[in-house]
Amino acid sequence: MKKHLNNINASSLFHFTRKFNTLQSIIKNGLRFSFAFEHFSARAISNLDCPTNPDVVINTYTKEDVGVAIPMISFCDIPLTRTTEHIYKYGEYVIGFDKDFIIEKFSEIINPVIYIHSKNLKDAFDDISNIYSESHNSLCKQIIDYPDKGRLQKNNDELKKLTSRYIDRKFFIQFVIGLMKPYGDNNVCFYNEREWRAFIPNGMDYESEWKFGITKEYYDLNRNDWNIELSDANYYLTFEKELLTKGITHIVVRNESQIIKMIEIIMNSKKVFGNIGLSETERLVLTSKITSFKKIKKDY
C-alpha cells in the first residue's frame, strides 16, 4: 500500500459507535460482529434465497423492500477532522486501527465497499444471480441423474469437481453481496462514508447465518435478538495482545471528562480487546492513544 495519502484518506480505519458503554465493551472484548441490512432486487434475492425455484418465491417479495441481513463490522476511511457528518450519523465514540496492519491481518474478510449506482451494474448482478441459480439446478440434476437413484458416489471425481465448483461459486457470489452498497438512498450519499467491511461468510453456523429475503421492517424487529446470539457465540474481531499497541491507533471519546474513565478501564480491566495478561507498559501505551472529539475540534 502507498504510504503517501492525501487528505481524503486516513492512515487508519475507524469504527464509530454511539455509546460510551459500547466503546468500553470494544476495549474489553474486541469488535463485535452485528447484523446490517442491505436492499437488493427481488430477482437477485429470489435467485439466492431459493435457487431451485426462484420464480415461485419472487412473488412473495415487495420489490422496494427486500434484502439480506449480514453479520459485519464497518469502518470508515475518513480523517477524523473530516468526520462531522459521520459523527452525527454513527456517534462520537471511535476506535481506530492502523490501515496497513488491519487489512493485512484480516486480508481474507476485509475490503472496501463496492458502491453501486449504474443500472447496468444492477442488471449485471441480477444476471450473475441467474447464473448462480442455473448452476445450482444443473448440479442437482446431474446428481439425480447419476446411477443408484442419485446417491453420491464418493469416488466419482467428476461429481466431486462439480460439487466443489458449485460451493466455490456460492461462496464467491455471497462474498460480493457482502460488499455491495447503494451509492446513495433517500438524499443520503453513502459513497461519502468511504466504508470498509469485515463480515462473517454465510454458512459458518446457525448464529451467523445470513437472513435472505427479509424486509427492513422484519430486520428492525429481530436484529437485537440476532446480535445477542452472535455475541453469545463469541463472534468478535480481536488480535493477539503483542499486536495491540501496533494495531490500535486511536481511542476517541466525546469529551475530556471521559478520558480518565477510559484510562481506568484500560489499566484495570482483566481483558483488553479480548486478551488477558497485558503488561503495565502495554496498557500505558494504549492509554496514550486516547483523545476526545472536543480536543480534536479545538486543536485541528
pLDDT in tens, 76-98: 999 888 888 889 889 999 999 99
Q: 96, 100, 99, 105: which is closest to 26 by C-alpha?
A: 96
Contacts of 114 (CB under 8 A, 6+ apart): 176, 179, 180, 181
- The reported pLDDT for the residue numbered 2 is 46
Q: What is the mean pLDDT of the chain?
A: 88
Tell me the backbone φ, ψ of residue 199, rounded to 5 degrees: -140, 160
pLDDT in tens, 132-146: 888 888 877 777 776
Which grid coordinates are listed for 225? 435478538
- 5 pLDDT more than 80: no
**Coil, strand or helix at 17:** strand
- Give percent of the chain with pLDDT exceeding 70: 92
Cα–Cα distance between 295 and 184 in angstroms, integer?
A: 32
- The reported pLDDT for the residue numbered 64 is 64
Answer whether 243's CB lies under 8 Å from 101's CB: yes
pTM (predicted TM-score)? 0.88
pLDDT in tens, 167-187: 888 888 888 999 999 898 877
Burial zone of 221 (CB within 10 Å; 0-12 exposed, 13-18 middle, 19+ buried): exposed
Tell me the backbone φ, ψ of residue 274, rounded to 5 degrees: 80, 5
Mean pLDDT to the nearest integer, 264-285: 96
DSSP conformational letter for 149: T
pLDDT band at 154 (very low <50, low <70, confident <90, very high): low
Distances (CA, A) of 106 to 99, 109, 170: 11, 6, 21
- The more confidently predicted of residues 186 and 107 is 107
Q: Beta partners for 195?
A: 76
pLDDT in tens, 28-63: 999 999 999 998 888 888 888 888 888 877 877 765
Answer whether 24's CB lies under 8 Å from 97's CB: no
pLDDT band at 285 (very low <50, low <70, confident <90, very high): very high
- The more confidently predicted of residues 188 and 4 is 188
Distances (CA, A) of 300 to 80, 87, 120, 295: 10, 16, 42, 8
- 196 pLDDT more than 60: yes
- The reported pLDDT for the residue numbered 152 is 54
Cα–Cα distance between 199 and 102 in angstroms, integer?
A: 14
- The reported pLDDT for the residue numbered 137 is 85
- The reported pLDDT for the residue numbered 184 is 85
- The reported pLDDT for the residue numbered 83 is 85
